[in-house]
Amino acid sequence: MPRYLLILEFDGGPFCGWQRQENGLSIQESLEDAAFKFSGERVTAFSAGRTDAGVHALAMPAHFDLQKEAEPGKVREAINYHLKPAPIAALSAEIVSNDFHTRFSATRRHYRYRIVNRRAPLTLDAGRAWRLGAPLDETAMHDAAQALVGKHDFTTFRASTCQADTPVKTLSSICVAREGDEVRVECAARSFLHHQVRSMVGSLVEVGFGRWTRADFVDAFHARNRRRCGQVAPAEGLYFLRADYA
């Protein structure tokens, strides 16, 4: 039974997230339905990240198994045909070994958060970035963010509904940089807690506005108390960038 790895790009705005749910259309359900229309087989699709409602992806790995083998390019084209008009695209497809798993084989996941720092409303980026009108100090944000690198208890930046066994995670890197009006926060780790990236970004924005000092940010982080977290950044600015595999 061949296993197909697809790399997906999607706009998360119309979806309730990656995972199939009863309260709305998910990306997983859309992909599984497209696979059924193509092959006549009911498949279960797995991804490298279970994104929330409204979160986007530039290169999300996903896989499923089919009974019959087909040329990967044909699978990609068929999936894209049956996904229409949903804003999801399979950028590539390949056959991988049966011991490969998009979620469990991933060694690192990369996320980007986009902030558009301008007074004017968003037009082209509406629903795809967080607009903040007051000036942000991205240098202060980057400096404070470095306190997060390494193995720590991230309870302060963990959603109350998070189902992870432990709040301890190892953040490999985090960078805050500006290009024109856009401030980007990019981070990488083997895995993340529920709402961890959006919580970190929301708290870093407090530093960027000058409402918190670096010491305030670090104290909130080390408090290991969800009530010390700043605002949670909205989902529309978050992007799953890619996953690394050994």
Catalytic residue, from 52, 137, 153, 216: name it: 52
Distance CA 91, CA 106 (A): 19
52 is annotated as an active-site residue: yes
Task: Enumerate residues 6+ apart whose C-beta is below 8 A from 40.
Answer: none
Point out the residues that are catalytic.
52
